[in-house]
Amino acid sequence: MGTPSDHLRVVVTGIGAVTPLGLDFATCWTNLLAGKSGIGKVAAFDVSAYDCKIAGEVRGFEGARFFKSPKDARRCDRFVQLALAAAKQALDDAGTDLSKENLDRVGVMVGSGVGGLKSMEDQHEILLKRGPSRLSPFMIPMMISNMGSGIVSMELGARGPNMAVTTACSTSAHTIGESMHAIRRGEADLMLAGGSEATICPLGIGGFSAMRALSTRNDEPEKASRPFDRDRDGFVMAEGAGILLLEELNHARRRGARIYCEIVGYGNTADAYHLTAPSPEGEGATRCMAMALRTAGLAPADVSYINTHGTSTQIGDVCETKAIKAVFGDQARKVAVSSTKSMTGHLLGAAGAVEMAICAKAIQEDKIPPTINLDHPDPECDLDYVPKVARECRVNAILTNSFGFGGHNACIAARKFA
């Protein structure tokens, strides 16, 4: 049994990701460093009647091969299939053999901002056309957001701490922070933490389009996501999953694990301001980043890289820039800052975990992915956004930001393991 301790250290030993830039994290990372975009015209359904016709889709994904049986896969929404794929990739990447682990001490926290939207959409159509008697008995379990965590634990036999966080675009950053706390409290040795999202469907694209939140640069999909650029016109939706294996340091050492980085801090605040807009001047984000630094024991000068929320919205990008300036002061223009959403699009509830995975790899390889499409920087966005080309430099410590509708803010701090 573990014992609660503030001194337990938490490291990242495995990464799994399925994104518009690749069906595994290695492919995604290669494409990020090359400055490639994963955005294209939507192929999943006819978008001719929609204002936004572009998204970051995961192409060629075969979810059934990750399940014990094809029947089990058919009973799961796409977001669950993506989650299980990323979880198994993370375990493989870490070289973890769960048959040698105490499964009571292996936990899962996989969140989703929306859950099984396509399953709900399909079943509603059946209801309208064929009546309630023809609804699937699996409709509810396919739809509810906790099934990412639930199915991953069932497929792997993980019986430790298990919950699903739903905080919109902050979801998977929160799962990482809360998983760190679970390990530090002595409740688990291993935690699979992350998020999954599959909302490229008529309701998803239509709903966000109705909010005027999405880019309509339909003729140039690869250039549509342009964080911090003066010509940005909204974010680009994407789908996928990101899962990290977090591990208590002594446990990782005993099995000779490779360590990407150490998770050292976590900020979690609320704007308490507006349904969808950030608080003025990025006040909530400021407090969140400051909390992450404080809990990590880091000073602004210690941070080499910030992976921003950076969604390519007019208000959000300016507010995040102001928040970074408020926290970092004179250091703000010395720290490298980029938005990988310029390439992946916005994976909503999965974004935070995919971006923490990117940060872990940046720490390991001392390489920072760029912000592409930054052709005409917004005068109000005047930091070092690593424009267009990846950069090689020493990455000692990072912050990664995630901010969600409802005023949810999350920030993770990590550093090189030593």
Residues serving a catalytic function are 169, 309, 346
Element (DSSP H or E) covering residue 404: strand 397-404
Integer Cα distance of 241 and 329 in angstroms: 34
Q: Residue 307's beta-bridge partner residues?
A: 338, 400
Read off the amino acid at residue 32. L
The neighbour count for residue 355, using CB atoms within 10 Å, is 28
Strands (DSSP E) contained in 155-216 are 162-163, 190-197
Q: Chain-centre distance of CA 104, in angstroms?
A: 26
CA distance 336 to 175: 25
Amino acid letter for position 310:
G
51: which residues sit within 8 A by CB, 6+ positions away? Answer: 209, 214, 216
Q: What is the DSSP string of 307-339?
A: E----S-HHHHHHHHHHHHHHHGGGGGTSEEE-
Q: Which residue has the tokens 């000073």?
A: 299
Structure tokens at 270: 């609320």
Residue 394: exposed, middle, or buried by beta-carbon count in 10 A (0-12, 13-18, 19+)? exposed
Question: Residues 115, 79: contact at Cβ < 8 Å?
Answer: yes
H or E element at residue 414: strand 408-415
- Widest CA span in the chain: 64
Half-sphere exposure of 235 (CA within 13 A, CB side): 23
Question: CB-based burial of residue 116 (10 Å sphere; 0-12 exposed, 13-18 middle, 19+ buried)?
Answer: buried
User: DSSP string covering 353-370, please?
Assistant: HHHHHHHHHHHHHTEE--
Tokens 């308490």 correspond to what residue? 272
